[in-house]
């Protein structure tokens, strides 16, 4: 049986969103990028002039705004479309100023509570691919299949530079690398739901792989899980090849 719930975690720039969306498309599953949800809340906070450290106001905001994630509505390289109160903010949530403060917003405990509540409600329906940084450890600890998608910081900075260039934006790779390292540190050291691989997640290293190759690597993991008619095994060292 194909796993009904698939959790894909990993650090910023590892390709979780792109790979997760493609896995969901191939399986005919719902796709949910939880990182985009936090980015959308961050964008809403920025537009309202809310301090990223103002937990109570951010919590209220997180419960008020409507964030919807669905299939791509424009052929501009996006893996999905993000709507914030009905407005397409797919690329707005990827702007540098959002990159700089999204980890601050995401670490507010009650903001996470508000988002996780929505995420778990969707997961109860099954046939879902959910990506983020704490899906297998916190949001869906009983997910049928857990994958931890990762790549070196240098590789992730290179991909980010290429993504921006494709959209007509130019930023120094070294600057992007420092940004990624900072995000990694904040995400890994935060007290609430820190970034880490679940004990039973299969780790998939994607350095040097194209999107297509990374996708096939994940489907190889999925195929092995199918063959066992159950969740992925503990560890997952074989998936590093």
Note the pLDDT tens digit of each residue in 85-115.
Answer: 999 999 999 998 998 899 889 889 889 888 8
- 126: CATH: 3.40.50.300
Q: Who contacts 148 (Cβ-Cβ below 8 Å, separation ≥6)?
A: 8, 9, 10, 136, 197, 198, 201, 202, 203, 204, 236
Q: 7-21, 69-83, 132-146 — which is least confidently predicted?
A: 69-83
Beta carbons of 179 and 99 less than 8 angstroms apart:
yes
What six digits make up the tokens of 126?
């099954």
Give me the domain span that covers residue 57.
5-240
Instruction: Name residue 14's beta-bridge partners.
Output: none
Please provide the average confidence, as pLDDT, over all residues in the chain: 88
What six digits make up the tokens of 164?
């921006």
Note the pLDDT tens digit of each residue in 127-136.
Answer: 899 999 899 9
In 3-state terms, the chain is what percent helix, strand and coil (to 5)?
50, 15, 35
d(CA 190, CA 133): 12
Total count of domains within the chain:
1
């Amino acid at each position: 049986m194909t796993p009904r719930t698939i959790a894909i975690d990993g650090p910023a720039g590892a390709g979780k969103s792109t790979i997760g969306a493609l896995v969901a498309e191939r399986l005919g599953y719902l796709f949910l990028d939880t990182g985009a949800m936090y980015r959308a809340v961050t964008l809403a906070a920025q537009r309202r002039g809310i301090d990223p450290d103002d937990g109570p106001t951010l919590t209220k905001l997180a419960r008020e705004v409507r964030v919807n994630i669905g299939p791509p509505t424009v052929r501009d390289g996006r893996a999905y479309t993000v709507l914030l109160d009905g407005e397409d903010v797919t690329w707005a949530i990827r702007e540098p100023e959002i990159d700089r403060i999204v980890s601050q917003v995401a670490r507010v405990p009650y903001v996470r509570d508000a988002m996780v509540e929505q995420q778990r409600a969707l997961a109860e329906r099954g046939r879902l691919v959910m990506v983020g940084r704490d899906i297998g450890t916190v949001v869906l600890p009983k997910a049928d299949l857990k994958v931890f998608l990762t790549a070196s910081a240098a590789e992730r900075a290179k991909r980010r530079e290429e993504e921006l260039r494709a959209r007509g934006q130019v930023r120094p790779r070294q600057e992007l690398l420092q940004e990624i390292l900072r995000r990694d540190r904040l995400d890994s050291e935060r007290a609430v739901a820190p970034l880490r691989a679940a004990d039973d997640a299969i780790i998939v290293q994607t350095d040097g792989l194209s999107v297509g190759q990374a996708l096939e690597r994940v489907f190889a993991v999925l195929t092995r899980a199918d063959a066992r008619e159950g969740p992925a095994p503990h560890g997952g060292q074989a998936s590093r090849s």
